[in-house]
Amino acid sequence: MDLAVVVPKPDSEARIADLEAEGVYDDARKIREHDADRVELPVSDRPRETDFDRLVEQDDPELRAPGLDDLLRERGWSDAERDRAPSSWAVVGTVILADFTDCPRRAEVGDALLDLHSEADTVLARGGIDGEHREPDVSVVAGEGDTETVHTEHGTQYALDLSRVMFAPGNKAERARMGEVVAEDERVLDMFAGVGYFALPMARAGARVTAVEKNPESFRYLAENAQLNGVSGNLDCVLGDCREVDSEADRVVMGYYDALGGGPVAEAGTSEGGPGYLDAALDNLVSGGVLHVHSAVPEAELWERPESRLRAGCERAGRTVEIGARRRVKSHSAGVEHVVLDARVD
């Protein structure tokens, strides 16, 4: 007999925690919608300590697909070994990216991940991002070893080689958002375009985008992706330093973590190699335009550090700034957040 308790949808997470604590939550079955306002949480026995609306019997319950922990347990992995396996991963096109750290028997974990994701054919261990060109450090763990793929998000296609160019799966919502905030025929400057992370969704939305990328490998995919997505007519790809571009824009995207640094900044607001990134952005942004500034910030300095740097740069340029939305995109590293400021600059 497959039992479930009916609870209000807004209370479901708290009730699951209560059922787990009581030892009666059945995580082998999926949660099922009961009606517009309530869901059915699967249980192994009638709860005695958890509140619920009613107890029901389920016909033909839907079982959860096995997870990585289940597969490794079936293959003889101990609790201690499974604790060292990746707790999360991302599927990018046909490639699985995972953080293996001190995981034992990586090839076995890679094979298990391929069993979980039939659409993938390669598993990569993800390291850091190195150098001025933000080049990824990855190694093949299992599968065919083909690191080149086409990844699709919200209709946008990204061709890329994950062994040569970076791709941040955690920025998915921000990439989609940028395609929603632009207006048709709006002029946009994307200063750190990469393979078209933000430029492609904006161009697909009808904006006229100048996308600048310094890394020749990323630039090659940027140009290819403009063709792949059918936006070559309104996406101008520029290979070079974004601080040297002259492009009048209604909106500027600064998608680099150190965008507010811009290298060694002198008292006059310029770096040794030319104008700083923020100075260049303001030079191109029309009065009343919108600036999207990404930054990696220690938790203790949110939001003071990025806001003070942005305000100081605008003051230096004789511009006024009004900071609107402040968003956390994802965790960048331990104690450091990847954030974005949206600002109107006059």
> Model confidence over 194-216: pLDDT tens digits?
999 999 999 999 999 999 999 99
Walk me through the domains of the chain, giving residue ranges and CATH numbers. 1-8+20-64 (no CATH), 68-146 (3.30.300.110), 165-345 (3.40.50.150)
pLDDT higher for 173 or 149?
A: 149
pLDDT per residue as tens digits for the range 224-254:
999 999 999 999 999 999 999 999 999 999 9
Q: Are 138 and 96 in contact (CB under 8 A)?
A: no
Which uninterrupted H or E stretch holds 213?
strand 208-213
pLDDT per residue as tens digits for the range 8-35:
988 888 888 889 888 999 988 889 999 9
> What is the C-alpha radius of gyration for the chain, rounded to an integer number of angstroms?
24
Strands of the 235-239 sheet, one edge to the other: 235-239, 208-213, 187-190, 249-254, 285-298, 336-345, 321-333
Q: pLDDT > 70: what percent of the chain?
A: 95
Contacting residues for 201 by C-beta, under 8 A, at least 6 apart: 154, 156, 175, 176, 178, 179
The size of the chain, in residues, is 346
Q: Does 259 carry a binding-site annotation? A: no
Q: How far apart are the first and last CA of the chain?
A: 67
pTM: 0.78
Q: pLDDT > 90: what percent of the chain?
A: 71
Kindly state the average pLDDT of the residues 144-165: 95
Residue 160: which of 129, 136, 192, 179 has the closest Cα?
136
Residue 242, token pair as written in the block: 């974004």
Q: Does 153 carry a binding-site annotation? A: no
Q: Are 192 and 166 in contact (CB under 8 A)?
A: no
Is the confidence at residue 62, as pLDDT, over 50? yes
Q: Please provide residue 169's backbone torsions phi and psi, each rounded to the nearest 5 degrees.
A: -60, -30
Parallel/antiparallel/unpaired status of strands 156-161 and 148-153: antiparallel
Residue type, 278: L
Determine the Cα–Cα distance for residues 141 and 334; give it in Å rounded to an integer: 25
Residue 345, token pair as written in the block: 């600059």
Q: What is the pLDDT of residue 132?
A: 63
Q: What is the pLDDT of residue 17?
A: 84
Contacting residues for 300 by C-beta, under 8 A, at least 6 apart: 335
∠ CA 18-24-28, rounded to 5°: 110
Q: Are 64 and 31 in contact (CB under 8 A)?
A: no
Q: What is the pLDDT of residue 272?
A: 39
Determine the Cα–Cα distance for residues 112 and 142; give it in Å rounded to an integer: 9
Residue type, 326: R
Q: Does 193 carry a binding-site annotation? A: no
pLDDT per residue as tens digits for the range 291-334:
999 998 888 888 999 999 999 999 999 999 999 999 988 888 88
Q: Are 224 and 251 in contact (CB under 8 A)?
A: no
